[in-house]
Every structure is written in C-alpha cells, then in structure tokens.
Amino acid sequence: MDNCIYCKISEKREDADIVYQDETFCAFLHPTPINHGHIILTTSEHCTSLTLLDDETYSKLQCLARKIAVATLKTKDYDGFNIQYNHGECAGQDALHAALHIIPRVGTDGFHLNWRMQEAADEDQRKSLIDFIKNKLS
Ligand SMILES: [Zn+2]
C-alpha cells in the first residue's frame, strides 16, 4: 500500500533499522520505541489485521516473534519481554498494518502496562460471555 509506513519499510522505500526480513515478514527497531530494543514485526504484504492472516502465516509470525524475543534476551541487556498486538485504535493500533510489538524488558526500564484490575463481571455476564465464545469456537 502506497502510504502505509510499514509497507514502505518492508519495501525499503523508507529507512528503518531492519533486524529480520524474508519474503513474508519484516522486523525492525521501532522508530519511537518504548525502550531501546522495541521491535515491530509485521507482514511484508499489507494486511490491516492479524485476524485476516491464514493460520499457517499467523503461526509462523508467532514463532518468529518468539525467536526474536529470545534473541534479545541473549544480548544480556534484558531480563524479559512483552509481545503485544494492538488491534483497533482503542487498543493502541497506530498504523493500519498489523504488527506485533516485541518489547524487551529490564526491571528499571520504567515501562508499565498500566493494567487496572477490576471486579469480575457478575455470574450471568460471565456465563453469557463464555457461552458466546464457546459457540463461536465450535
Ligand atoms: Zn502496510
């Protein structure tokens, strides 16, 4: 896609610090990272959502994300990592090209996911949600 920043990077029409690339995927250092090792892993072809990928491509993407994350641990600069997918603007998706964020972590990096815990929904709401999801998965 002509104006998509991730397409531009994977097609080398935009400069980026690419850490991995093959014909299906491209991984590069985030230009405005959460921390030093923040990597974006995306598809080489334009795809707005990971939900649109076929199972085989999605599985390969997840395996590659794990390999990249493990590689960051081997630098000895990091003690852990987060792998995050932001689907939709409300979830923080900032480009309309699906991407996994691989965020190597160290205890002093100052990054917080800021998850706020709430009371669980009431039993009827939980049961309704469970039934709905089970129905969609069957
Ligand atoms: Zn794109």
Which H or E element spans position 126?
Answer: helix 123-137
Summarised one tens digit per residue, pLDDT across range 61-86 is 999 999 999 999 999 899 999 999 99
> With 90 as the cut, is the pLDDT of residue 125 above it?
yes
Residue type, 50: L
Cα separation, 12 vs 26, whole angstroms:
10
β-strand partners of 101: 40, 84
- Look up the domain containing 55 and give its range: 5-137
119 Cα to the center of ligand 1, angstroms? 38
Tokens representing 113?
Answer: 């996911």
pLDDT (0 to 100) of residue 109: 87
Query: Is residue 37 classed as helix, strand or coil in its secondary structure?
Result: coil
80 Cα to the center of ligand 1, angstroms? 29
Cα separation, 24 vs 58, whole angstroms:
11
Provide the domain count of the chain.
Answer: 1
> With 90 as the cut, is the pLDDT of residue 112 above it?
no
48 Cα to the center of ligand 1, angstroms? 7
pLDDT (0 to 100) of residue 111: 86
The residue assigned the tokens 């923080």 is: 92
4 Cα to the center of ligand 1, angstroms? 4
The CATH number of whichever domain residue 43 belongs to comes to 3.30.428.10
